[in-house]
Amino acid sequence: MDFLQMRTEIGAVAAGIGLGPDVCGAVAECAQNVLNEETVRLCARLTEPETARDAAQRISELFVQDPGGAAKLTLFLGAACLAREKWAQIGVADEIFWDTAACLARFVQEMRQRTGRPLFDREQWAWRQMCGRLFRLGTLEFEYVVVEEGACRPWGVQPGQAVLSVHIPGDRPLTEQSLRESYRQAAAFWEKYEAAFCPVGRPVLWCCDSWLLSPMLAQCLPASSAIRTFARAYELYDVDPADESFYFWLFGGKKKPEELEQRTSLQRAVAEKLRRGEPIGSARGFLAFLK
């Protein structure tokens, strides 16, 4: 794919995943300025599992002076164009590409909501989607992870084996039906594309590491809540009461309990627990009904 074609494709993908007109305009301008032999090579390296993380780091280093992240976003969109070509060649449905690549628009929108302006700053995460390690399949995202020595893992899972790490994007409802359909799609996908995307074989277990699995949330939410619907499918194997990731996802950042936003019943319940000195934390679990 030459520079001119990539510029055109970047614009099409930016619009297709739902980036707003202001962001699409910034990306179009960046595509004129930042695409060169080195950056196109970086786009290609982002699509390879062995080099994607390093390529993302190199992009961060190249564009330190990129306050809105438009240049970095442009290169990730370039990588998405190349990934789409690669995946199509092995038969991956275009719908899966669009759902997976849409993470870029979701990240920009999340930062727009938190800061009031569009911002892309997730290059150290989004390389997973570009290189075929993480796919959006229905409501959820699924990341192929090879377990490293010393990693916290469920009993019976050995270093060198693979698990599927389940992520919750948060832009679709977590109903029991939608969750089961997402798990069904994931099981079919990783079976069908084992040769392409499973270098050490199919995942032996499905896991989740999230504040949404925190046992403390059960005290804050009714049994019918979407979060508890998601969490009760998992059997916990580790709890971290000191983890504070919930601040970012629930409140947009850490503040004193009395300063936390309290628009929703969950925000109010969590803020009250924090005022009483009770931790929220996070937990790790494995998907019990697929044992």
Q: Are residues 118 and 247 in the same domain?
A: no
Q: State which of 117, 132, 147 marks the end of a domain.
A: 132
Q: Give me the pLDDT at residue 171, please.
A: 87
CA neighbor of 94 nearest in space, from 157, 136, 46, 149? 136
The identity of residue 54, as a single letter, is D
Residues contacting residue 109 through CB under 8 Å, at least 6 positions apart: 118
Nearest to 71 by CA among 101, 110, 38, 116: 38
Look at residue 221 in the predicted model and tell me its pLDDT. 92
Q: What is the 3-state secondary structure (H, E, C) of 28-45?
A: HHHHHHHCCHHHHHHHHH
Give the CATH number for residue 157. Answer: 3.40.630.120
267 and 184 inside one domain:
yes
Q: For the segment 44-63, what is each residue's pLDDT rounded down to a tens digit? A: 999 999 999 999 999 999 99
- Percentage of the chain modeled with pLDDT above 70: 99
- Domain match, 11 and 86 both: yes
Q: Which of 132, 159, 189 is the last residue of a domain?
A: 132
Q: Are residues 241 and 151 in the same domain?
A: yes
pLDDT reported for residue 290: 46
Q: Are 289 and 160 within one domain? A: yes
One domain, residues 154 and 284 = yes
- pTM exceeds cut of 0.85: yes
Q: Retrieve residue 71's tokens.
A: 């240049």
Instruction: Give Dmax over CA atoms of the chain in angstroms.
Output: 59
163 three-state secondary structure: strand
Domain boundary among 116, 132, 148: 132
Residue 289 has pLDDT above 70, yes or no: no
Backbone angles phi, psi at 78, to 5 degrees: -60, -40
Judgement on whether residues 284 and 205 belong to the same structural domain of the protein: yes
The fraction of the chain above a pLDDT of 90, given in percent, is 85
Query: 152 and 74 in one domain?
Result: no
Half-sphere exposure of 75 (CA within 13 A, CB side): 33
Express each pLDDT in 213-272 by its tens digit.
999 998 899 989 999 999 999 999 999 999 999 999 999 899 998 899 999 999 999 999
Q: What is the pLDDT of residue 291?
A: 37
Same domain (yes/no): 172, 83: no
Contact present, 203 and 190 (Cβ < 8 Å): yes
Shared domain for 256 and 119, answered yes or no, is: no
Encoded tokens for 271 = 């803020």
- Tell me: do 160 and 104 sit in the same domain: no
Mean pLDDT of 107-135: 94
Q: Are 7 and 36 in contact (CB under 8 A)?
A: no
- In 10 A of CB 263, how many CB atoms? 7
What are 86-112's pLDDT values in tens digits?
999 999 999 999 999 999 999 999 999
- Please give the Cα distance from 46 to 269 (Å, whole number): 41
Do residue 79 and residue 182 come from a single domain?
no
| Confidence band for 3, pLDDT divided at 50, 70 and 90 | confident
Is residue 127 predicted with pLDDT exceeding 90? yes
Domain range spanning residue 103? 1-132
User: With the CA atoms of 95, 99, 104 and 108 taken in that order, what torsion angle do they form, in degrees rounded to the nearest 10?
Assistant: 120
Assign 211 to helix, strand or coil: helix
Angstrom distance (rounded) from CA 241 to CA 210:
12
Sort 148 into a burial class: Cβ within 10 Å, 0-12 / 13-18 / 19+: exposed
- Please tell me the distance from the alpha carbon of residue 217 to that of residue 214, in angstroms, as a whole number: 6
The predicted model gives 73-88 an average pLDDT of 97
- Number of domains composing the chain: 2
Query: Would residue 198 be called left, alpha or beta, if left means φ above 0 and alpha means ψ between -120 and 50 degrees?
Result: beta
